[in-house]
């Protein structure tokens, strides 16, 4: 199981912070995001029973994508103040489970997940735990995406068949879909005036962006004009949308074998005053 660390951490933070309640230790260290993170990760481990687990992280806002397009994710504000000290602390918690933390400068967690999924799926079944639909482009017969939905223990597992049934598209076409319609959360525009419905219709008919461009003269004049005037942005948006699967990561699969040392976890949890969670997880 490849865990999208940031997705779980932010989800853990907002699950409690929206009520204005930030859990803190007696020393005043905020821990609500970590608490939520552990609950989500542990629930997924209990539900899907992976033999190996790796947690992947973003390493700051500067990546090869921001070099390609300086407005990439520029719409995102600074993280909430109470969340900042939890970024490093959560990695210590992950380490206490003997789960490797992976993050590579200039790349996003998604690129690490894509690269590890490609590498490990040659020899084993891979599950990606995330809240992010971008991961659907990585789905194969050996790589499934577990999308976390609202609440605990609420998952949607995507296989190539499930994706085809729901969207009518293949995993590879999910990249072209984002290229055409853009992505408001990552702040790149795609082709102005082309939304999801139109993009899916075009891809069902022509399969790829390349084939759409080759058949521009067959498109209605308005649509053709939109694409022709945004060709550069279309290609750039597709490049930004594609998860890299060639990131040089040093991680031996044996290091990811899930063997929990209760003593290590207990010590870490006692520091964070997660006594109730220890009981809930059955760690003595």
Instruction: Tell me the C-alpha distance between 7 and 21, whole Å.
Output: 20
130 or 278, greater pLDDT: 130
Instruction: Tell me the C-alpha distance between 21 and 209, whole Å.
Output: 47
pTM given for the model: 0.95
Residue 284 pLDDT greater than 80, yes or no: no
Domain 2-162+244-281 and domain 166-241 have a common topology: no
What fold characterizes domain 2-162+244-281? Rossmann fold (3.40.50)
Give the pLDDT of residue 174: 97
Q: Show Cβ contacts of residue 87 under 8 Å, excluding neighbours closer than 6 positions.
A: 9, 79
Q: Does residue 103 sit in helix, strand or coil? A: coil
Instruction: Tell me the C-alpha distance between 240 and 193, whole Å.
Output: 19
- Quick one: DSSP state of residue 189? -
Q: Kindly list the domain boundaries of the chain, sorted by start residue.
A: 2-162+244-281, 166-241
In CATH, the architecture of 166-241 is: Orthogonal Bundle (1.10)
Q: Show Cβ contacts of residue 209 under 8 Å, excluding neighbours closer than 6 positions.
A: 176, 179, 180, 234, 235, 238
| pLDDT band for position 61 (cuts 50, 70, 90) | confident
Give the pLDDT of residue 233: 96
Instruction: Tell me the C-alpha distance between 117 and 2, whole Å.
Output: 8
Q: What is the mean pLDDT of the chain?
A: 95
């Amino acid at each position: 199981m490849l865990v999208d660390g940031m997705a779980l951490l932010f989800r853990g933070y907002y699950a409690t912070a929206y009520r204005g309640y930030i859990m803190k230790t007696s020393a005043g260290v905020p821990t609500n995001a970590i608490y939520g993170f552990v609950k989500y990760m542990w629930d997924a481990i209990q539900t899907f029973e992976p033999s190996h687990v790796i947690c992947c992280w973003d390493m700051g806002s500067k990546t090869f994508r921001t070099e390609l397009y300086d407005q990439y994710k520029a719409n995102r504000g600074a993280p909430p103040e109470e969340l900042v000290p939890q970024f490093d602390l959560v990695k210590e918690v992950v380490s206490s489970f003997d789960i490797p933390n992976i993050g590579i400068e200039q790349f996003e967690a998604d690129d690490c997940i894509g690269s590890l999924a490609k590498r490990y799926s040659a020899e084993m079944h891979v599950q990606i735990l995330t809240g992010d639909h971008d991961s659907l482009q990585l789905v194969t017969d050996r790589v499934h995406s577990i999308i976390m939905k609202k609440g605990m223990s609420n998952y949607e597992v995507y296989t190539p068949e499930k994706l085809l049934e729901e969207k009518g598209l293949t995993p590879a076409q999910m990249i072209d879909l984002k290229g055409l319609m853009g992505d408001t959360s990552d702040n790149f525009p795609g082709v102005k005036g082309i939304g999801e419905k139109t993009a899916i219709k075009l891809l069902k008919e022509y399969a790829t962006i390349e084939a759409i461009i080759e058949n521009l003269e067959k498109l209605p004049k308005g649509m053709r004009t939109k694409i022709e005037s945004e060709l550069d942005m279309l290609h750039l948006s597709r490049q930004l949308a594609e998860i890299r699967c060639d990131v040089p990561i040093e991680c031996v699969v044996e290091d990811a074998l899930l063997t929990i040392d209760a003593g290590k976890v207990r010590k870490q949890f006692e520091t964070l005053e997660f006594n109730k969670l220890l009981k809930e997880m059955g760690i003595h």
